[in-house]
Amino acid sequence: MRRLKSLVVKEFIQMRRDPLTLAMLMLIPIVQLVLFGFAINTDVKHLPTIVFDRSMGQESREFVQSLAATQYFDIRSYASSFDDIRRAIERGECVVGIAFGPDFAKRLARRDGAEIQVIVDASDPMSASSAISAAEMTGIRKSVLVLSRMAGTGESKIWDIRVRPWYNRDFKTPYYMVPGILGVILTMTMLMITSMAIVRERERGTLEQLLVTPMRPWELMVGKVVPYLGVGYAQLTIGLAIGRVVFDIPVRGSLGLLYLLTLLFICSTLVWGILISTVSKTQMQAMILSVFGFLPSILLSGFMFPRMGMPKIFQYLSMALPLTWFQLITRGILLKGVGAEALVHPIVALCALTLLFLAVSLLKFRRTLD
For residue range 11-33, list pLDDT tens digits in order. Answer: 777 767 667 667 767 777 777 77
Which band of pLDDT confidence, cut at 50, 70 and 90, is reported for residue 156?
Answer: low
Banded pLDDT at 157 (limits 50, 70, 90): low
Query: In the chain, which residues fall in CATH 3.40.1710.10?
Result: 47-166
Provide the pLDDT for residue 210.
65
The 3-class secondary structure across the chain, one letter per residue, is CHHHHHHHHHHHHHHHHCHHHHHHHHHHHHHHHHHHHHHCCCCCCCEEEEEEECCCCHHHHHHHHHHHHCCCEEEEEECCCHHHHHHHHHCCCCCEEEEECCCHHHHHHCCCCEEEEEEEECCCHHHHHHHHHHHHHHHHHHHHHHHHHCCCCCCCCCEEEEEEEECCCCCCHHHHHHHHHHHHHHHHHHHHHHCCHHHHHHHHCCHHHHHCCCCCHHHHHHHHHCHHHHHHHHHHHHHHHHHHHHHCCCCCCCHHHHHHHHHHHHHHHHHHHHHHHHHCCCHHHHHHHHHHHHHHHHHHCCCCCCHHHCCHHHHHHHCCCHHHHHHHHHHHHHHHCCCHHHHHHHHHHHHHHHHHHHHHHHHHHHHHHC
When pLDDT is cut at 50, 70 and 90, the band that residue 207 belongs to is: low
Q: Residue type at 190?
A: M
Of the candidate ranges 156-160, 304-308, 348-352, the one whose mean pLDDT is the lowest: 156-160
Contact 160, 115 (CB under 8 A): yes
Confidence check: pLDDT of 333 > 90: yes
pLDDT at 146 over 70: no
Q: Give the separation between CA 274 and CA 198, rounded to whole angstroms.
A: 7
pLDDT of residue 141: 80
Mean pLDDT across the chain: 84
User: d(Cα 195, Cα 250) in Å, to the nearest integer?
Assistant: 34
Q: pLDDT tens across 66-91, in order?
A: 899 888 999 999 998 999 999 999 98
Residue 366: the pLDDT is 64
Question: In terms of Cα–Cα distance, which of 135, 142, 100 is closest to 120?
Answer: 135
Question: Residue 295's pLDDT band (boundaries 50, 70, 90)?
Answer: confident
Least confidently predicted of 50-64, 195-209, 254-268, 295-309: 195-209
- Determine what percent of the chain is predicted with pLDDT higher than 70: 89
Across 15-19, 195-199, 236-240, 311-315, least confident range: 15-19
Which of 56-60, 212-216, 245-249 bottoms out in mean pLDDT, i.e. has the lowest? 212-216
- Is residue 123 within 8 A of residue 175, CB to CB? The reply is yes
Burial (CB count within 10 angstroms: exposed 0-12, middle 13-18, buried 19+), residue 234? exposed
pLDDT tier at 51, thresholds 50, 70, 90: very high
Residue among 106, 119, 146 at smallest CA distance from 47: 119
Please tell me the predicted confidence (pLDDT) of residue 223: 76
Q: Grade residue 60 by pLDDT with cuts at 50, 70 and 90.
A: confident
**What is the average pLDDT across 187-216?**
75
Question: In the CATH hierarchy, which fold is given to the domain comprising 47-166?
Answer: abc type-2 transporter like fold (3.40.1710)
Contact at 8 Å (CB) between 211 and 369? yes
Buried-exposed string 135-161: b where 16+ CB fall within 10 A, e elsewhere? beebbeebbeeebeeeeeeeeebbbbb
Query: Residue 204: is it exposed, middle or buried by C-beta count within 10 angstroms (0-12/13-18/19+)?
Result: exposed
pLDDT band at 228 (very low <50, low <70, confident <90, very high): confident
Is residue 160 very low, low, confident or very high in pLDDT (cuts 50, 70, 90)?
confident
Going by pLDDT thresholds of 50, 70 and 90, the confidence category of residue 239 is very high
pLDDT recorded at residue 40: 75
For the chain, what's the residue count? 370
pLDDT score for 32: 74
The predicted structure's pLDDT at residue 211: 63
Q: Which residue, 110, 109, 134, 132, is CA-closest to 120?
A: 132
Q: Which of 76-80, 129-133, 202-206, 225-229 has the lowest mean pLDDT?
A: 202-206
Confidence at residue 369, expressed as pLDDT on a 0 to 100 scale = 52
10 Å Cβ neighbour count for 115?
17
pLDDT of residue 209: 65
Percent of the chain with pLDDT over 90: 34
